[in-house]
Chain A
Amino acid sequence: MPLGVAAFTFGVSFGVLARGAGFDGLSATVMSATTWAGSAQFASASVLEAGGGAAAAIIAAVLLNARYGAMSLALAPSLRGSPVRRAATSLGLADETWALAAHGDGRFDPGRMVGAALVMWVGWVAGTALGSLGGDFLGDPKSLGLDAAFPALFLALLVPQLRSRPALAAAAGGSIVALVLLPVAPAGVPIIAAAAVALLGLKRPR
């Protein structure tokens, strides 16, 4: 399945970059296995690498994952069974699996979502393990240009999110806020402060 392969290569990227940010093979792999959210994992790793500390990394990751709360709410009416089964199903939430499972009319196919999730999860965790263990053999990240890989990955994650005018405006605003705060705030703060721009979403009730 292409989804599994994509998740695998993505996981390798995370594994390699997590090493550069201070993770070891175990912590990187555990994170991929338990958090299983690419954007949040990359974001927290980058905050930690910049010296931002656990609190800033956690806040950044939680803010990035907040959208899964909304997706979970949207999924809820399509779920059946005991609370345990519903909980297990919703753990399969990810941008791609949610999109795959959507029928388009507000209903979702939980079986499809979980199936895709399992494939992706295996690829993601395996890729992370490989990337974080192989990272040892790479040498100086800067001479290999690996520090440029982080922003590139975030760009690749950002572009599919720019589906609307408000999203574009929010992205522009977030960039500006972060840039302005860079010279004056401690590591990690510019990212979290930029989140305030998302309050743009309050302006127009639908």
Chain B
Amino acid sequence: MSDVWLAVLVIGMVTAAIKIAPAVWLGGRPLPDRLEGVVALLAPTLLAALVTVQTLGADGRAVLDARAAGLITAGAAVAVRAPILAVAGAAALTAALVRALA
């Protein structure tokens, strides 16, 4: 089975379990405060890490390239609350232009 399909199947099942189990089996009892704090921080931590790696990572190194320019445009688009497809499109367009002009 390819990596992709393995990931798709396992992630699908685990995600469903994460959404269902607490509601059905643990019903009512809250997470210990400290654990809840950690869980709440997981998304911002990981998303920020992903932004970093996706912008600067290339073949096991950190490089500054057209993607960074795209990210700046994306930042502006997010600031004006553009729809997500426009944010992605703006970044792609910027990166493509930078590459074409460089």
Chain A interface (Cβ < 8 Å from any Cβ of B)? 6, 9-10, 12-13, 21-23, 27, 30-31, 34-37, 39-44, 46, 48, 50, 53-54, 57-58, 60-70, 72-77, 79, 83, 86-87, 89-91, 93, 142-159, 161-162, 166-168, 170-175, 177-179, 182-183, 186-187, 190-191, 194-195, 197-206
The tally of CB-CB contacts under 8 A between chains A and B is: 327
B102 within 8 A of A: no
Contact A148 B71 (CB under 8 A): yes
Contact B93 A145 (CB under 8 A): yes
CB distance from A12 to the nearest CB of B (A): 7
CB distance from A196 to the nearest CB of B (A): 9
Chain B interface (Cβ < 8 Å from any Cβ of A)? 2-8, 10-16, 18-24, 26-31, 33-34, 36-57, 60-62, 66-67, 69-71, 73-75, 77-78, 83-85, 87-100
**Main SS at interface, chain B:** helix
Partner of A54, one of B7, B39, B97: B7
- List the B side residues contacting A22 at CB < 8 Å: 2-4
- List the A side residues contacting B54 at CB < 8 Å: 46, 150-151, 154
Q: Which of A44, A198, A200 has the most CB of B within 10 A?
A: A198
Partner of B52, one of A12, A41, A179: A179
- List the B side residues contacting A194 at CB < 8 Å: 45-46, 48-49
- List the B side residues contacting A61 at CB < 8 Å: 7, 11, 14-15
Contact B26 A90 (CB under 8 A): no
Contact A31 B12 (CB under 8 A): yes
CA distance A109 to B95 in the complex (A): 43
Contact B18 A145 (CB under 8 A): no
Closest to B50 in A: A154
Contact A76 B23 (CB under 8 A): yes
Contact B95 A148 (CB under 8 A): yes
CA distance A83 to B21 in the complex (A): 10
Closest to A180 in B: B62
- List the B side residues contacting A178 at CB < 8 Å: 48-50, 52-53
